[in-house]
Structure 1
Amino acid sequence: MVLQAIKYTPASGDGPASLEILDQLQIPHRTVYEPIKNCEDGFKAIKQMKVRGAPAIAIVAALTLAVELGTTYDGAQSAAEAKDHIIQRLEYLKTSRPTAVNLGDAVGKLSKIVTTAASSSATDSQAVVKEYIAAAERMLVDDVADNKAIGANGAKWIMENTEAGKSRASNAAQELSILTICNTGSLATAGYGTALGVIRSLHNAQCLTRAYASETRPYNQGSRLTAYELVHDNIPATLITDSMAGSIMARERSNIAAVIVGADRVAANGDTANKIGTYSLAVLARHHGVKFLVAAPRTTVDRATASGEDIVIEERAGHEVTQVRGPQVIPEGGFGEPATVSTAAIGVDVWNPAFDVTPANLIDGIITEVGVVEKASGSLNFNFDSIFASMTKEEADIKPSSIGGM
């Protein structure tokens, strides 16, 4: 069963809506679901990073208010008052992560929906609330559906366009492996995942023999989160340090079909910002003749950003590089209380960019929910016009941005 990091149950005759999130601060050593009963609970969960990932943050915020409205809102106000109340609560939730582009985008879209609903003379407060709850629930459903479509599109492309994929299709003995970095699964999205969604789709089709997960230093999202999801789903997986990627590509060249990564932002020309270490993987993949793919929904493409040169990269605190934190290993077995350990010389300077930019010319394809975008013959850049031409106004109005805050 695919890991569920967001558990939401709509209201029914059996009771009101409910929401639980998997506390990511306790992963991978403990699996604890935390109930979210109101906006204050949701605010704390987002601010404390118990939930992370661009789509997941926005969707948890939206569902948090849906749960609160379904349990505490008495409906005694007018439609205009209901609209004002909802927007006020959304603005409060937005302050939990004020730099998160995706959260602000979702708040803006949901505010527009309730404003439109309240503008009708025939609308009462309950109708405005119902319109909001339906929109919030649709965000969850749409994101999972988009992720599953990304997974299916990516798996199909790999089977048809890579040497390992084509060999596997005709010979079940052919191994087919995928290498990935950071976490792009259920813990970062509403469910299923983007790059990890492709891995899941290949595994479900019995085409995948192994996933290689890069540790993703210094914050270790690969070893803490992706490895946790792969083990949970019983997908054959091997954890490697970031510096082992070149060696594994050289050793397994004929078996590694592709490197698949997620994206925090895709510029208009296809340059892609993602977790630090992604650029190195792209260079290594090109040298070893391994396909390099980016998996992301259309909402990650920022057409207002011309190229990677316009993306400002966040630099984080040096202690993330010089220290590690985790539970102490008890000699008798199991784990004790968490501890922070120093791993570097005291006083050394540290450079710690959170992301890097992979130029479009190193990317073979960008996997979206409506298909895989490839560069035109002879072009170094991508053209995304075709995938946005099919986006309906309803989709544009409700889907939260998946662009990460840099």
Structure 2
Amino acid sequence: MSSGAAMSLEAIRYRRGSLAILNQLLLPEQLRYEPVASVERAWEAIRAMEVRGAPAIALVGCLSLAVELAAGAGPTGDAAELETFVGERLRFVVTARPTAVNLGREAQRLRDFVRRRVRSPDVTAQGLRESIIEHIEGLLEKDRGDNRSIGAHGARHILQRVPEGGVTLLTHCNTGTLATAGYGTALAVVVGADRVAASGDTANKIGTYQLAVAARHHGIPFYVAAPSSSCDPALPGGADIPIEERPGKELTHLQGLCLAAPGIDVWNPAFDVTPHDLITGGIVTEFGVFAPGELREALAERAAAGGQ
């Protein structure tokens, strides 16, 4: 469906039983929202980059499952069978984009939630179905809250380093409202991130590493803005982050028209890795701003205190 200019620009439109995404492949020529009625359609949209940005990818993957469940998909009479169905759907959708950790992390959290609910003595299949849908719907508002917190922490940290006057900021990657549930993650900082390793090394859209090198050379603070769901302490460093490689035609063709010499060889990695020692400003999360070497401990302390 089409959207008029007066309507708000958002990547995701959801209500119980209905999900639509802004097809970002058509921007800026067309502003079109398309329905996502199944996990398979979500996989296709994520894989084809119709929807982009690690937080938005995670939301679309999980919300597509909520849409299926609201429509009655899956077993109806046994809670344990419904748990199996949900696990299978989640394992499938996380294969769409390997580098962005948010989708895999939210899928695991959802599996853990379902496992705890199934162990409740009074659980029913219908009650489990409702609680899963409500859990997924809660991710939307949480993402918006995290975005606002990231922006506030980042802005405060940057402005404290400026004695007077304004600041000029360069952002890189899809960091605004189209990458999230709304608002955006890096409106007051420099780059986003799809995965942050335990060392503080970060994977982000290709070109981030070059900006980090240039910033270091010119003495400009370099920040990474990422929700805690993008942090992956199980990976020791950037060399362990799986880097997604995209089809070469994404670089050689535009709207079906070949712009390169026929048969030219193309290597198209979608991400590069920025070493932690180039992140001189800090890593901005919804919990605050941390030096790369402090992030793992800070998140572990937050988790121990009951935070996500």
With the shorter chain as reference, the TM-score category is: 0.7 to 0.9
- Aligned pairs (5 A) from 1:280-319: 280-319=210-249
Could you tell me how far apart the structure 2 residues matched to 1:54 and 1:267 are? 15
Checking the alignment, whether the CA contact within 8 Å between 2:19 and 2:64 is kept in structure 1 is yes
Aligned to 1:373: 290
Once the two structures are TM-superposed, the CA of residue 278 in structure 1 deviates from its matched residue by 1.3
- Distance change in 2, residues 1:351/1:382 (3 Å): farther
Once the two structures are TM-superposed, the CA of residue 22 in structure 1 deviates from its matched residue by 0.8
Task: Pick the aligned partner of 2:178 from 183, 187, 197.
Answer: 187
- Aligned pairs (5 A) from 1:27-66: 27-66=27-66
RMSD of aligned C-alpha atoms?
2.9
CA deviation map 1:43-101 (0-9, x unaligned) = 43334332232222221121112122223359851333333333343344345557764
Aligned to 2:117: 117
Q: Which runs of 5+ in 1 are unaligned?
A: 11-16, 169-173, 200-259, 326-337, 376-380, 397-406
Checking the alignment, whether the CA contact within 8 Å between 2:99 and 2:194 is kept in structure 1 is no
Aligned to 1:384: 296
- Distance change in 2, residues 1:67/1:392 (3 Å): farther
- Distance change in 2, residues 1:267/1:167 (3 Å): same
- Aligned pairs (5 A) from 1:104-183: 104-161=104-161, 163=162, 166-168=163-165, 174=166, 176-183=167-174
* Aligned-partner residue type, residue 116 of structure 1: R
- Aligned pairs (5 A) from 1:5-404: 5-10=11-16, 17-72=17-72, 76-97=76-97, 101-161=101-161, 163=162, 166-168=163-165, 174=166, 176-195=167-186, 197-198=187-188, 260-321=190-251, 323-325=252-254, 338-343=255-260, 345=261, 350-364=266-280, 365-374=282-291, 381-391=293-303, 395-396=307-308
Structure ranking higher in strand proportion: 1
Checking the alignment, whether the CA contact within 8 Å between 1:2 and 1:192 is kept in structure 2 is no
Once the two structures are TM-superposed, the CA of residue 350 in structure 1 deviates from its matched residue by 4.5
Checking the alignment, whether the CA contact within 8 Å between 2:176 and 2:183 is kept in structure 1 is yes
Checking the alignment, whether the CA contact within 8 Å between 1:269 and 1:307 is kept in structure 2 is yes
Could you tell me how far apart the structure 1 residues matched to 2:59 and 2:12 are? 9
Of 286-295 and 92-101, deviating more is 92-101
Could you tell me how far apart the structure 2 residues matched to 1:305 and 1:91 are? 20
Could you tell me how far apart the structure 1 residues matched to 2:263 and 2:68 are? 48
Identity of aligned residues (%): 47
* Aligned-partner residue type, residue 193 of structure 1: G
- Using the size of structure 2 for normalisation, the TM-score is 0.84
Of 89-98 and 284-293, deviating more is 89-98
Could you tell me how far apart the structure 2 residues matched to 1:20 and 1:73 are? 18
- Using the size of structure 1 for normalisation, the TM-score is 0.66
Once the two structures are TM-superposed, the CA of residue 122 in structure 1 deviates from its matched residue by 1.1
Checking the alignment, whether the CA contact within 8 Å between 1:269 and 1:382 is kept in structure 2 is no
* Aligned-partner residue type, residue 81 of structure 1: E
* Aligned-partner residue type, residue 61 of structure 2: A
Secondary structure in 1 matching 2:42: helix
* Aligned-partner residue type, residue 175 of structure 2: T
Once the two structures are TM-superposed, the CA of residue 295 in structure 1 deviates from its matched residue by 0.6
Q: Which runs of 5+ in 2 are unaligned?
A: 1-6
Could you tell me how far apart the structure 2 residues matched to 1:279 and 1:95 are? 25
Once the two structures are TM-superposed, the CA of residue 282 in structure 1 deviates from its matched residue by 1.5
CA deviation map 1:205-258 (0-9, x unaligned) = xxxxxxxxxxxxxxxxxxxxxxxxxxxxxxxxxxxxxxxxxxxxxxxxxxxxxx
- Distance change in 2, residues 1:31/1:103 (3 Å): same
Secondary structure in 2 matching 1:181: coil
Count of matched residue pairs: 301
Checking the alignment, whether the CA contact within 8 Å between 2:101 and 2:231 is kept in structure 1 is no
Once the two structures are TM-superposed, the CA of residue 154 in structure 1 deviates from its matched residue by 0.6
Could you tell me how far apart the structure 2 residues matched to 1:41 and 1:309 are? 32
Once the two structures are TM-superposed, the CA of residue 9 in structure 1 deviates from its matched residue by 2.2
Once the two structures are TM-superposed, the CA of residue 116 in structure 1 deviates from its matched residue by 1.8
CA deviation map 1:80-127 (0-9, x unaligned) = 333333334334434555776443333332122122212222111221
Secondary structure in 2 matching 1:7: strand
Checking the alignment, whether the CA contact within 8 Å between 2:205 and 2:271 is kept in structure 1 is yes
